[in-house]
A and B are shown apart, each in its own frame.
Chain A
Amino acid sequence: MKNKGLSYAYWAVTLLMLAVGAVGWYWRVTAGHQMANYGELIVWGLWVAMYIYFIGLSAGAFLISALVYAFGVERFRPIARLALFTALIALLMALLHIWFDLGHMSRFYEVYTRPHFYSMMAWMVWLYTSYFVLLLFEFWYETRQDFIRWGKKPGLAGWLSRILAFGSKDLSPESRKRDIKVVKVLGSIGVPLAIMFHGGVGALFGVISARPAWHSGLYPLLFLVSALVSGGGLLTAIYAFIAPNRGTPEHSSLVSDLGKLVLGLVLLDILFTFAEYSIALYGSIPGDVAPLLQVMTGPFWYVFWIGQVGLGMVVPLLLLTIKSTKTNAFWVGVAGLSIVIAFVGVRLNIVIPPLSVPELKGLVEAVPSPRMTTLYVPSTMEWFLSIGIVGLGMALYALGYSLLPVKPESKEA
């Protein structure tokens, strides 16, 4: 980052978030799930929502990198590496969230040792594990030669690059050609894999016939579209705000092209969301309608109207179509940021309201427990731990950004 003040502020916020997260982590480890506010009716809460949020960002960022690596869309080449790196960090944040959500964190390995492949969750875990491995390899082949070159640098960056080069020394153009080929193959395998695993996350919800609001064939597709929108928004914002070549015509032209991509994706997302809501509302099946009414008119109406619709649709739509803002890197970045913020709400609204409708009428009243409630607000422990995980992601991102060869490329560099 060029601006020292901003950099200090970033690290101050990140360290504060990590400190808050340490408290949340301590609570979670010592008191188990007792301090969590999800309950017997709404059994999944903030962490599951954050999990699908970050996994969406990861899949979206990856698919955008695949535009370059698999499909050869050279226009976006400058951000391709950063997109891969973003996908890695976001995936890590997603997995941490879902790990803390488990009742028995130490047993996570069972999903590998005794998977039940009739379960969408088992599929999802196996697919994102494959995706994680693929990401690591793709990233390594893409950056291998830079690791070797950076290994000559003094200090931490050089040391890290020497380790990450894993003894590779070949800087010949032939080996670079081979690397490019490998990356193309991995990127091409990654496309169906990312579609399958993120579509699979949507299917994880979609197959649940007990929750009519989830049980829709549109779910896997809706998840893919929202992954692309949120991932696209994130990359646009990152590139618009931190690229080293800010202020050059090259930078603003790429930002505004990214804006066009995001605009198309936002429109697609509006179409999908409208289809999902309108069909369910018209059908008027109570179990289907109740969660949607909860989303639109319940106590958290603003998450939908201000977040999902306002920040996620209206703001980017305006900023990306008005002539003076759509060519201005700052405003296109704001549009991306607005989407990134809005999608936290989208994810919360996917997980929580459909669970808040009791499976049988009168069930809530029949169980005398404060955990049997239709209203869920995340507890301090849940917030703290989530903030900590986001802080960790921000720390890793900043470290990686300054220590690894991931900076957006520009002609001058």
Chain B
Amino acid sequence: MPVVVNQLENAIVRMMDDLERALQKPPSERRWGMVIDLTKCVACDACTVSCKAENKTPPGVNYTVVIKEEVGTYPNVRSTFLPRPCMHCENPPCVDVCPVSATWKSEEGIVVIDYDVCIGCRYCVTACPYGARTFDFGEFYTEGTPMIAPYETAPTFEYGEERTRTEGESPIGNVRKCNFCVQRLHEGLLPACINDCIGRARYFGDLNDPDSLVSELLRERYSFKLKEDLGTDPKVFYLS
């Protein structure tokens, strides 16, 4: 096992260096990927919360969640945790079905949505085998209280576009999903969930770069992907 993985500070520093190196290449030569170490996940949901904070996602819209399962019967039980962001598949079934080409796989390997084009038909939601896509119904967490909390109406910067959620306007009425925090990546920052993982269970980087931490982890450790039999070829890998 590579030493660096166990040194918490170094992993972040190293991944940011990886990121900087990748950003110097043309976008089509990058392949962003995520590696999640299931042996280190404690299901604290820090990733879920940091994603909410970064993207100000409303109720029901979740880009990343932690699936918790109890295995066995008491007293012989254990819990298993499975963080699930968008898999950013190499062959994304959600992209195929969009009737208006509002979603596609970007040059650098991120499955993105153009909020101004999406008609909100939700066909892609049905096509995703991972439940990674959600629909923005236009709800607010603090609706029905004396005031909608300012953090819910503050602008978001997904895809580098400033938007404020108002009824009738995108992204309300759109399908929304994890985009690897592309707005942060292009500023040289790691996705929010990577930064905030308390157990350093999540890693991010350029899969095309053999020297990146993610590539090294995938070389050294056993990894698997979700529902590989569907041929989607996810770019999120799990270590166990």
Chain A residues with a Cβ under 8 A of chain B:
31-34, 36, 39-41, 43-44, 101-104, 107-108, 110-111, 114-116, 118-122, 125, 204, 207-211, 355, 358-363, 365-367, 369, 371-372
Contacts and interface: CB of A to CB of B under 8 A. Distances in A.
A338 to B, nearest CB: 31
A15 to B, nearest CB: 30
Interface in B145-184: 167-168, 170, 172-175
Contacts of A208: 93, 97, 126-127
Given A43-B135, A102-B121, A114 B67 contact: no
Nearest to B80: A362
Contact of A103 (B60, B82, B135, B139): B135
22 contacts: A32-B137, A32-B167, A34-B137, A40-B125, A102-B120, A102-B173, A104-B118, A107-B100, A110-B119, A111-B99, A111-B100, A114-B101, A116-B100, A116-B101, A121-B99, A208-B97, A209-B93, A358-B131, A360-B84, A360-B226, A362-B69, A369-B60
A111 B67 CA distance: 36
Interface of B: 59-62, 65-69, 82, 84, 93, 96-102, 117-123, 125-131, 134-139, 167-168, 170, 172-175, 226, 230
A355 B126 contact: yes
Nearest to B229: A209
A260 B82 CA distance: 56
Contacts of A40: 60-62, 125, 134-135
A119 B119 contact: no
B230 to A, nearest CB: 6
B137 A363 contact: no
Given A103-B119, A107-B117, A367-B62, 18 more contacts: A34-B139, A40-B62, A103-B136, A104-B118, A107-B120, A108-B119, A110-B100, A110-B119, A121-B121, A209-B230, A210-B126, A211-B126, A358-B131, A360-B84, A362-B69, A365-B68, A366-B67, A371-B60
Contacts of B69: 361-362
The binding surface of chain A is classed by DSSP as loop
